[in-house]
Amino acid sequence: MAKFVVSGGVPLCGVLDIQGAKNSVLPIMAAALLADGDCVIEHCPDISDTDCAIEILSELGAFVSQKRDVDGSRTVYINSSNALGFEIPDKMMRKMRSSVIFLGAILSRRGRALISFPGGCELGPRPIDLHISSLRKMGVRINETHGFLDCECERLHGTDIDLAFPSVGATENIMLAAALCDGETVINNAAKEPEIEDLQNFLNKMGARISGAGTGCIKINGVHRLNGVRHRVIPDRIAAGTYLCAVAATRGNALLKNAEPSHMSSTLAFLSDCGCDIKVFDKDISVSCDELHSVRHIRTMPYPGFPTDMQAVFMALMTKAKGNSVFIETIFENRFKHIGELHRMGANITTDGRVAVVEGVKKLYGAHVESTDLRGGASLIIAALAAEGTSIIDNIFHIDRGYDHIENALSALGAQITREQ
């Protein structure tokens, strides 16, 4: 199993281009199932979740090819004319739990879908009740047996859906199911994440009639046909936030290019609050940092609040800040697994349920640790970069799910990090 070996203590300095957004590319690839004609998706991150989405599309019968661009990102070509499959094998559902976002598109296209229940995962239970109840309201008959979902429908029909929680995946699934259905669908309490807006833009380019993404109310007027289009995925706000934290943790200075600062207000505000000098120039962000102090009460919230995906990496930053920081994780039940590993490096963190209190220490020390999940793994890299000595980080397949060759990005900033088998 591959691992990262990191020698800490080097301030990160330089310029870095930001990858395309993982959380945009996945629903957009699912949306390509709905197109008559070729879809060309640019700026796809080279991550294992994109590979998994390609596997699912191919399994369903779509023709998928890709080419590597000069900037290292990928352009993915998808033709779904022969995508008549309706089953996603269990091993693919398990590999990427967000594979459930293919459900709405498969149903819209085939009127039938057979998938396994994504079940619990490293962040705690991840139910899909909101996906299921919304699709039922649109006319889908869903049979749940022994961990499998057998779904069937004639034509989907528009309806009003009030989400009990602004679930990102459920909002996307409804948009994908509703784009080609009869009549109007209204999603109330919809998720407002920028990736939802990117999905709306992609679908509207294809000929869909969707408005409201970015607000809590999305309206989808079903159309009869969607065309193939070319689209560039938005920058990854979580990858950008991770690199800003890495630079700050090593007291370095860097310029992130081709980011989307307007999607990162809450992250940038917290970084400024703890002592980072952040400057925004259109699509670029500069960061420099000499001294860090704690930030009280970091509460994860749906967008535009502080992202749960930034919690672990920001916590790694706070381990060496002066004073106490309090983290409250409101989105996922079990998103503190990285804390045990940060302890091994000398961090002082106590937890009580969904609350974690970080007392800044003067030094972290290199250690042998294990990634527990995607963002938790990234938090260990940040701590290792800020630590004295050498760290070994195991189970890095979690990190490869969402970061496009993180070791290359960090090495470009001067980090001493290598991937070893």
In three-state secondary structure terms, 350 is strand
Confirm if 88 and 56 have CB atoms less than 8 A apart: yes
- Output the smallest distance, CB 341 to ligand UD1, in A: 19
Chain residues that interact with ligand UD1, rule: CB under 6 A: 23, 26, 98, 126-131, 165, 167-170, 191, 195, 308-309, 331-332
For residue 346, the minimal CB distance to ligand UD1 (Å) is: 28
Q: Which is nearer to ligand UD1, 12 or 196 (CB)?
A: 196
Rounded Cα–Cα distance for residues 233 and 5 (Å): 31
Residue 121 is among the residues annotated as catalytic for this protein: yes
Task: Enter the tokens of residue 256.
Answer: 């992130």
Q: How far is the CB of 167 from ligand UD1 (least distance, A)?
A: 3
- CB-nearest residue to ligand UD1: 169
Nearer of residues 360 and 376 to ligand UD1, judged by Cβ: 376
Q: Which of 39, 44, 52, 121 is catalytic?
A: 121
Choice between 22 and 74, CB closer to ligand UD1: 22
Tell me the CA end-to-end span of the chain in Å, nearest whole number: 6
Q: CA 214, CA 190: separation in Å to the nearest integer? A: 9
User: Minimal distance in Å, beta carbon 118 to ligand UD1?
Assistant: 8
Nearer to ligand UD1, 199 or 417 (CB): 199
Specify the residue, 79 or 201, whose C-beta has the smaller distance to ligand UD1: 201
Q: How far is the CB of 28 from ligand UD1 (least distance, A)?
A: 11
**DSSP-based three-state secondary structure for 276:** coil
> b/e map of 262-300 (b: 16 or more CB within 10 Å)?
ebbebbbebbeebbbebeeeeebbbbbbeebebbeebeb
- Shortest distance, CB of residue 243 to ligand UD1, whole angstroms? 17
Q: SS in 3 state form for the chain? A: CCEEEEECCCCCEEEEECCECHHHHHHHHHHHHHCECEEEEEEECCCHHHHHHHHHHHHCCCEEEEEECCCCCEEEEEECCCCCCCECCHHHHHHCHHHHHHHHHHHHHHCEEEEECCCCECCECCCCHHHHHHHHHCCCEEEEECCEEEEECCCCECCEEECCCCCHHHHHHHHHHHCCCECEEEEECCCCCHHHHHHHHHHHHHCCEEECECECEEEEECCCCCECCEEECCECHHHHHHHHHHHHHCCCEEEEECCCHHHCHHHHHHHHHCCCEEEEECCEEEEECCCCECCCCEEECCCCCECHHHHHHHHHHHCCCECEEEEECCCCCCCCCHHHHHHHCCCEEEEECCEEEEECCCCCECCEEECCCHHHHHHHHHHHHHCECEEEEECCHHHHCCCCCHHHHHHHCCCEEEEEC
Nearer to ligand UD1, 126 or 343 (CB): 126
Nearest-approach distance from CB 265 to ligand UD1, in angstroms: 15
Closer CB to ligand UD1, residue 168 or residue 342? 168
Cβ at position 418, least distance to ligand UD1 in Å: 27
Amino acid at 273: D
* Residue 74 or 335 having the CB closest to ligand UD1: 335
Catalytic residues: 121
